[in-house]
């Protein structure tokens, strides 16, 4: 049985429908949603639950070349214990998904995402003697599937870990829509590196919300790599709630053909003596469209804040577009904050120089573009995940 989004919400109860009706629908009238038309999502009929099954072979094929200590598998938002590998340092329980902070710009999509919050999964990562790698694999399958996934991850005090979340779709997942939410709570003294990889069917779409809460003396590094999909949007927010909380944000946007990829980041400095380093690179070709919007907010009492934000983009065709909107909102006076954004074409002089030394145009272009993105990719500590991402980006580069 298929439903429109509103029919699905109505079945969730009057209180959910009331909350849904009170919020705006994403449209070009809203500043943060103006680059894409979402009307079709609300008019379409969706399969809310599907009879499709994911196979072990497909799961293994998506993880080739990546080693892990723990694996947590989801299919259309549902946790699959039988395909997961849970180590002793990891505890998983079913717990209703509750946003750690109320967003200032909620839309009806947020209600759709949390309507099925009772299926949320709570993950606790305990301290252990070694640096552990946890992989979260979410698989989407079925034509016209609407699915939601909700995770809250607690990194316990003084714990060090790396987390890689991979969201993929099967070949049959045409015109699907995934609404995903991941909350990362970094307790005092913890160090966490979180990577989000999204690799969906060319006709499918995803909106992923990533929220990070940092307590005192924590380091959180977030990598965002939306590799493919018709519409691919990541909303990433970090909330510094303890002093000496350090946040690093890295990402690459590479929309090709008719892909539309958006990355919105909001970093909130609410307490003193915190630091942010943000570096986003963008490539665009064909009719691809990219959007980067980054806000660094510094509260009145957040003295001795240090923050830097950089966004650099290269357009590889006259029809490609990348919109950049870096923002600083500062209410403290003892701070060091800067941001910058550039968008241009590939360096023609460098291409000529390389061709003059016997390198053909196509190879020279590949080398320059790989060099452009490498300083972002090299910030990733896990070389296997880095190679996984680079192989998919290289495929797009090779088609230039």
Summarised one tens digit per residue, pLDDT across range 161-215 is 999 999 999 999 999 999 999 999 999 999 999 999 999 999 999 999 999 999 9
Residue 57: pLDDT over 70? yes
The single residue listed with the structure tokens 């379409």 is 44
Task: Say what the pLDDT of residue 53 is.
Answer: 85
Q: Say what the pLDDT of residue 96 is.
A: 80
Instruction: Tell me the per-residue pLDDT of 4-22, one tens digit each, with 9 for 90 and over.
Output: 999 999 998 898 999 999 9
Residue of 175 and 102 predicted with greater confidence: 175
Whether the per-residue pLDDT at 50 is higher than 80: the answer is: no
Predicted confidence at residue 1, as pLDDT, reads 73
Residue 118 has pLDDT above 70, yes or no: no
SS3 310: strand
Q: How is residue 195 written in tokens? A: 């990577």
Q: Could you tell me which residues come within 8 angstroms of residue 322 by beta carbon, excluding any fewer than 6 positions away?
A: 253, 255, 282, 284, 289, 290, 291, 292, 313, 315, 343
Whether the per-residue pLDDT at 85 is higher than 70: the answer is yes
Tell me the per-residue pLDDT of 235-259, one tens digit each, with 9 for 90 and over: 999 999 999 999 999 999 999 999 9
Q: What is the pLDDT of residues 263-310, one digit of tens each?
A: 999 999 999 999 999 999 999 999 999 999 999 999 999 999 999 999
Predicted local confidence at residue 119, as pLDDT? 72
**Token pair of 26 as six digits:** 């994403």
Per-residue pLDDT of 302-319, as tens digits, reads: 999 999 999 999 999 999
Mean pLDDT for the stretch of residues 121-125: 94
The burial of 110, by beta-carbon neighbours within 10 Å (0-12 exposed, 13-18 middle, 19 or more buried), is given as buried
Q: What is the mean pLDDT of the chain?
A: 94
Q: Report d(CA 242, CA 152) in Å as an integer.
A: 19
The tokens for 36 are 């894409």
- Residues 185/155, Cβ–Cβ less than 8 Å: yes
Q: Round to whole Å and give the CA distance between 38 and 32.
A: 12
CA–CA separation, 344 and 366 (whole Å): 17
Which residues lie below 8 Å from residue 14, measured CB to CB, with a gap of 6+? Answer: none
Q: What is the mean pLDDT of residues 323-350?
A: 95
pLDDT for the residue numbered 117: 65
400 pLDDT band, cuts 50/70/90, is confident
């Amino acid at each position: 049985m298929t439903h429109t989004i509103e029919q699905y919400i109505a079945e969730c109860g009057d209180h959910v429908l009331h909350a849904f009706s009170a919020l705006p629908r994403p449209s070009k009238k809203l500043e943060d949603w103006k680059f894409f038309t979402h009307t079709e999502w609300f008019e379409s009929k969706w399969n809310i639950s599907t009879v499709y099954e994911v196979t072990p072979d497909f799961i293994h094929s998506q993880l080739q070349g990546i080693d892990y200590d723990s694996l947590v598998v989801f299919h259309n938002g549902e946790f699959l214990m039988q395909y997961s590998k849970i180590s002793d340092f990891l505890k998983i329980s079913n717990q209703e998904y509750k946003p750690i902070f109320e967003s200032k710009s909620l839309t009806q999509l947020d209600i759709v995402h949390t309507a099925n919050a009772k299926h949320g999964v709570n993950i606790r990562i305990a301290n252990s003697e070694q640096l552990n790698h946890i992989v979260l694999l979410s698989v989407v399958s079925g034509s016209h599937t609407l699915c939601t996934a909700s995770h809250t991850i607690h990194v316990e005090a003084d714990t060090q870990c790396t987390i890689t979340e991979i969201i993929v779709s099967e070949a049959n997942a045409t015109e699907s829509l995934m609404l995903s939410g991941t909350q990362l709570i970094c307790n005092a003294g913890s160090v966490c590196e979180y990577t989000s990889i999204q690799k969906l069917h060319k006709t499918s779409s995803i909106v992923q919300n990533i929220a990070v809460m940092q307590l005192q003396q924590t380091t959180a590094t977030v990598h965002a790599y939306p590799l493919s999909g018709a519409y691919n949007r990541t909303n990433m927010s970090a909330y510094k709630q303890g002093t000496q909380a350090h946040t690093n944000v890295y990402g690459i946007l590479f929309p090709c053909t008719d892909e539309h990829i958006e990355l919105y980041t909001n970093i909130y400095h609410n307490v003193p003596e915190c630091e942010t380093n943000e570096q986003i690179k963008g490539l665009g070709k064909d009719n691809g469209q990219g959007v980067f919007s980054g806000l660094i907010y510094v509260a009145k009492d957040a003295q001795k804040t240090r923050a830097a934000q950089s966004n650099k983009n290269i357009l590889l065709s006259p029809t490609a577009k990348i919109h950049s909107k870096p923002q600083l909102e500062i209410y403290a006076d003892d701070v060091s904050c800067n941001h910058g954004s550039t968008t241009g074409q590939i360096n023609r002089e460098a291409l000529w120089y390389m061709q003059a030394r016997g390198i053909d145009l196509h190879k020279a272009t590949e080398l320059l573009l790989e060099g452009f993105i490498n300083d972002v990719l090299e910030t990733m500590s896990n070389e296997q995940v880095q190679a996984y991402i680079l192989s998919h980006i290289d495929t797009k580069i090779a088609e230039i």
